[in-house]
Structure 1
């Protein structure tokens, strides 16, 4: 069977970024929990709006393949930040099903890291710039 790495990268981009969009859309109506979490650790609450960059804008750019590497590193950093701020007590905790409590966040973060290192593949809006 012939390898089609570009198609695989497209599926990865759509899966990782597409699933994250649901989280971003859910946060459109209410950021109060995120604002409170930030102020508790001494971070200005206005930075809660950064969630729209990491969970809406970056995933959309990854899906269409525009400045994919830049968007995926922003997405990766957002997932690591979310894990450290919201789930730090669960990082090394095993769930009742035997997986890590933060495995979903890790899958998002590491998927974004893969996209950062590989680029978008040829099925993308833009592939000629260094951040594509």
Structure 2
């Protein structure tokens, strides 16, 4: 297999993995209701309607990543979603270790960095946009 194809397959794997894993969080929010998210946003003094933005970052953006449709934009949206989640929910854990010894925010950190990598790399040839 030539290096260009390997790179495109790696981009596909990165996009689809991040997309599916973040989408599962979005589906859980759709099934469980948005009340908790809206309440968290309101507790920060922001309009509750902004809580629905999580659906952009955890449903729309992952679907964009999975398909490779404007995947760089999808990566930006996931990255923004993760930054907001870290600020609103996880600030107190930035310097903490989890019960297994790893960083308490390793999942959020991995999602954030993977989204940024997709923004920098692009979707690859195996995508709706095909670049």
| Alignment TM-score, normalising by the size of structure 2 | 0.93
User: Partners of 2:130 and 2:91 in 1: how far apart?
Assistant: 36
User: What does 1:26-45 correspond to in 2, within 5 Å?
Assistant: 26-29=28-31, 30-45=33-48
| Alignment TM-score, normalising by the size of structure 1 | 0.92
| Aligned partner of 2:90 among 79, 87, 107 | 87
Root mean square deviation of aligned Cα: 1.2
Unaligned runs of 5+ in 2: none
Aligned residues: 128
3-state DSSP of counterpart to 2:30: coil
Please state which structure has a larger fraction of its residues in helix.
2
4+ runs of 1 displaced by more than 6 Å? none
Match of 1:13 in 2: 15
User: Partners of 2:94 and 2:34 in 1: how far apart?
Assistant: 23
| Aligned partner of 1:77 among 80, 84, 105 | 80
Alpha-carbon displacement from aligned partner over 1:89-111 (angstroms, at most 9, x marks no partner)? 11111112111111101101100
Alignment pair present for 1:63 and 2:66:
yes
